[in-house]
Amino acid sequence: MAPTAVISLLESIRRRFFWGFKDNEKKMVWVKWEKIMSSSKNGGLGVESIKAKNMGMIGKWKWRFLNESGALWRRVIVELYSVNGGFDQSTRHIGNSGT
């Protein structure tokens, strides 16, 4: 999962883009961020949460890891990290950079 600080920074940049903010310049926010993120059926723009999207992609990756036992990418991950289905059993240390 992406670090919380990175997700917060990306969300902040995206909000500032939608609201038209420039550095050190305050503007009136006419629409709540929750409204922008709500679905278009509910009158919003349907902008997805970066955190939710990240969690969904990790879930999909884990599902594929468990179900695609013969896939080359899975075999590489198992060789690199000595993981065989138990995602918390890695013997290789992963640093703050995610590598």
Half-sphere exposure of 48 (CA within 13 A, CB side): 8
Give the span between the Cα atoms of 16 and 27, in whole angstroms: 10
Q: Average of pLDDT values for 36-48?
A: 86
Q: What is the mean pLDDT of the chain?
A: 80
pLDDT band of residue 34 (cuts 50, 70, 90) is: confident
Residue-wise pLDDT tens digits, 43-79: 888 888 899 999 999 999 999 999 998 999 999 988 8
Q: Give the residue extent of every domain in the chain.
A: 4-47, 51-81
